Amino acid sequence: MERNTFYITTPIYYVNDKPHIGHAYTTILADVLARYHRLLDVPTHFLTGTDEHGQKVQRAAEQHRITPRQQCDRTVVRFQQLWERLGITHDDFIRTTEERHQVVVRQILQDLYDRGEIYAAEYEGWYCVPCERFFTQRDLRDGLCPECSRAVERLFEKNYFFRMSAYQDWLLQTIEGNPDFIRPEHRRQETLGFLRQPLNDLCISRPKNRLNWGIELPFDQEYVTYVWFDALVNYISAIGYGADPERFERWWPASCHLIGKDILTTHTVYWPTMLKAIGVALPRTVFAHGWWLVGRDKMSKSLGNVVNPMEMADTYGVDAFRYFLMAEMTLGQDAAFTEEAFVNRYNADLANDLGNLASRVLTMVQRSLGGTLPEAPAPAAAEEELVSAVLAAVGHMQSYLTQMQLDRGIAEVLAAVRAGNRYFDRMKPWKLAKQGDGAALARVLYHSSECLRIVSGLLFPVMPGKMTALRQALGLGEAAARPRFAAMAAWGGLAAGTRVGALGPLFPRIAAASETLAEAPRGKSAAKASAKAGPEAENLVTVGIEDFAKVRLRTGVVVDACRIEESDRLLKLQVEIGADIRQIVAGIAGAYDPDSLLGRTVIVVTNLEPAVLFGVESDGMLLAARKGRKMRLLTVDGEIPSGAAVS
Ligand code: ME8
């Protein structure tokens, strides 16, 4: 990040099939990194695209009984539509069938051929069709392809070779002397290990009688270019190599080629030697991320476990999907995708922590301050923990970005969100409102809003849609969709008089599959079933004392209560439970006026999973007795402090 430009690339994806979660992951990650650099005011160029030549695409076309060109044109749209849906902000999308790319590939081939860097030779070796790669006998593992463990074919043919072996020592030294070139470190070691074995020359051609879907060699019409020798060039052809020197100089060398660990050798051995041969500087970093597994399995069509990113975005929303992928994977390691993990993280981080803070703060600014922020009061001792957690998150996010530890940066921001919730609980603004302490109330709401301003900016690259909505509600106007790191690093950015708007639930809680099942018996059919079965049916389920003991019951005192506008059944309560204040939504509006509840002692289930009702978070449940329409809250028989255990 010490450079003044940031050029990031994704692999260009094969158009043999529709995109899956792996493609979505790399592209979202590149998008998040690009967006963070824009927040830092670093001129950024983000390239993605499609790899349209080669055997995989030709095979897919044959299977679909269409031409390779049709295969490309049909499939590329699926990638482009997905990127649009996922909010990807690439500056350029390159297709290797475009003329601007093919010209450069031909130019490089001719140049290398003219200088003897490419030569013709009879080749005999093992060829893996799906991987489109040749292997020597020594490379094979148990006689199978070392990459995909499938059967290999013996091939004899004339081909063209790039003198890659000549660069072996140079490449070893370069990688040894430049720890940032391949990241993370264990991938650097993997390439170094590979390079300590003899390095062969690279076969860069395919005879047309075997494969004709590719860029024809400029010096032999009987051959097309090996798809990798064509594809890697996209990183320079797209930014004007050989055509627009000024543009090329502006962006090259790339700051980061982001790749999956599957394509390490091509990017850290083939590509640097190709660049060296044409006299072009190496990219600063090739970063290889880990693999998304589905549970414990590799994702594969045959296992039928391929995760469709479009479906995830449709079911859970684009931002939540982006958030999960970024927060869950420690960059460089593998991660497991399960919907259960997704729902758990969503509910914990987004519904309970961030969504809760946003809804509490915005609602109170509306209700108690008429939606207008006061003059910025200087933070005092009470705000110390909050301000330092939030500003520390800004610093951490910046340094974790440089270290490519995005998940850690996000964890720091979530820690700041939790500090925001703690501050709110500790300062009890609803109490201040009741007591009519306007100055103290304004101060708490200002600082809570300020916390939201900064954390929403920090999370903007990950969840641009939701964070823009939150920032718009915070009255940030133009800056809502264009946060800046510089503006986040200083406390007090919200101007006095800022109009704060209402916002629906940002992240409504998702009911986990297990909860849905647990809820089922409460439905109509269950009620009917138990009515038919008679009163004794109620006794069918018995629980042991150890099960009953799992339910945590505490006394609480209602300190604030109001109606929920859209519902005539629900009240929103703030309940003090010992040192804690919980927001609880209770279906008691038919039986109690809000004001009549203030100061009452109630019994609260405190370890129920939080839920969102009518967009309002509810963290606990009150106990009540009911018969028909009549309902009365459970309370205690005499004085006892809030927070007392009930058993
Ligand atoms: O290799 N987890 O294209 P490709 C995480 N055209 N990432 C995954 C993944 C998974 N399970 N599966 C795939 C090619 N990816 C070449 C690249 S570049 C000059 C040419 C991601 O369509 C990951 O980024 O097979 C991986 O490197 C890429 O998809 C491979 O995509």
CB 178 within 8 A of CB 268: no
Q: In whole angstroms, what is the distance from residue 633 CA to residue 647 CA? A: 17
Domains of the chain as residue ranges with CATH: 1-95+290-337 (3.40.50.620), 338-488 (1.10.730.10), 523-633 (2.40.50.140)
Q: Give me the residues paired with residue 335 across strands.
A: 292
Beta strands in 351-506 (DSSP E): none
pLDDT for 292 beyond 90:
yes
Find the mean pLDDT for residues 280-293.
Answer: 97
pLDDT at residue 304 tops 90: no
Query: Are 41 and 3 in contact, with CB atoms under 8 Å apart?
Result: no
Query: Which atom of ligand 1 is nearest the CA belonging to 298?
Result: 11
Largest CA distance in the chain: 98
611/85: higher pLDDT: 85
Closest-CA residue, ligand 1 atom 24, reads 260
Is it the case that residue 37 has pLDDT exceeding 80? yes
**pLDDT: is 461 or 576 the higher one?**
461
Q: Which of 108, 15, 109, 86 is nearest to 57 (CA)?
A: 15
- Give residue-wise pLDDT tens across range 140-198: 999 999 989 999 999 888 999 999 999 999 999 999 999 999 999 999 999 999 999 99
Give the per-residue pLDDT at 541. 57
The strand pair at 553-563 and 601-605 is best described as antiparallel
From the CA of 290, give the closest atom in ligand 1. 5
As given in the structure block, the two tokens for residue 308 are 């469709």
pLDDT at 445: 96
Q: How far apart are the first and last CA of the chain?
A: 58
CB contact at 8 A, 488 and 457: yes
Q: Which of 128, 235, 262 to mutate to test the pocket of ligand 1 (most atoms within 8 A of CB)?
A: 262
User: Is there an atom of ligand 1 within 6 Å of 291 CB?
Assistant: yes
Answer yes or no: is the C-beta of 263 below 6 A from any ligand 1 atom. Answer: yes
- Measured in degrees and rounded to the nearest 5, phi and psi for residue 568 equal -95, 5
| 313-349 as b/e: b if 16+ CB within 10 A | beebbbbbbbbbbbbbbebbeebebeeeebbeebbeb
* Ligand 1 atom 10, closest CA: 22
What is the tens place of the pLDDT at every residue in 535-564?
333 334 566 777 788 888 999 888 888 888
Q: Would you say 433 and 441 are in contact if contact means Cβ atoms under 8 Å apart?
A: yes
Instruction: Average the pLDDT over 264-271 and give the result.
Output: 98
Check whether 524 has a pLDDT greater than 50.
Answer: no
User: One-letter amino acid identity for 365?
Assistant: V
Q: Tell me the backbone φ, ψ of residue 103, rounded to 5 degrees.
A: -55, -45
pLDDT at 528 over 80: no
Lowest mean pLDDT among 287-301, 496-510, 565-579: 565-579
CA 258 to chain centre: 15
**Three-class SS string for 23-75?**
HHHHHHHHHHHHHHHHHCCCCEEEEEEEECCCHHHHHHHHHHCCCHHHHHHHH
**One-character DSSP codes across 521-583:** GGSHHHHHHHHHH-GGGGGS----HHHHTTS-EEEEEEEEEEE-TT-SS-EEEEEEETTEEEE
pLDDT band at 628 (very low <50, low <70, confident <90, very high): low
| Span from the CA of 391 to the centroid of ligand 1 (angstroms) | 36
Return the structure tokens found at 622. 């009150």
Give the strand pairing for 286-289 and 182-183. Answer: parallel
Predicted confidence at residue 629, as pLDDT, reads 66
- 26 in contact with ligand 1, CB cutoff 6 A: yes
Phi, psi dihedral angles at 366 (to 5 degrees): -65, -50
Radius of gyration for the alpha carbons in the chain, expressed in angstroms and rounded: 30
Averaged pLDDT, 621-633? 82
Predicted confidence band of residue 275 (pLDDT cuts 50, 70, 90) = very high
Check residues 576 and 623 and name the one with the higher pLDDT: 623
Q: With CA atoms as reference, report the closest residue to 75 among 19, 150, 30.
A: 19
pLDDT at 616: 81
Is the model's pLDDT at 632 over the cut of 60? Answer: yes
Specify the ligand 1 atom closest to the Cα of 299: 11
Give the model confidence (pLDDT) of 76-119 as tens digits. Answer: 999 999 999 999 999 999 999 999 999 999 999 999 999 999 99
- Quick one: what percent of the chain has pLDDT higher than 70? 94
Which residue in this structure is represented by tokens 């079965």? 533
State the chain's mean pLDDT as an integer.
90
d(CA 642, CA 576) in angstroms, rounded, equals 7
Asked whether the predicted pLDDT for residue 369 surpasses 90, the reply is yes
For 632, the token pair is: 């009365």
Q: What atom in ligand 1 is closest to the CA of residue 10?
A: 24
Could you read off the pLDDT of 557-606 as tens digits, one per residue?
Answer: 888 888 887 777 888 988 888 878 888 999 888 888 887 787 788 999 99
Task: Report the pLDDT value the prediction gives residue 125, as an integer from 0 to 100.
Answer: 86
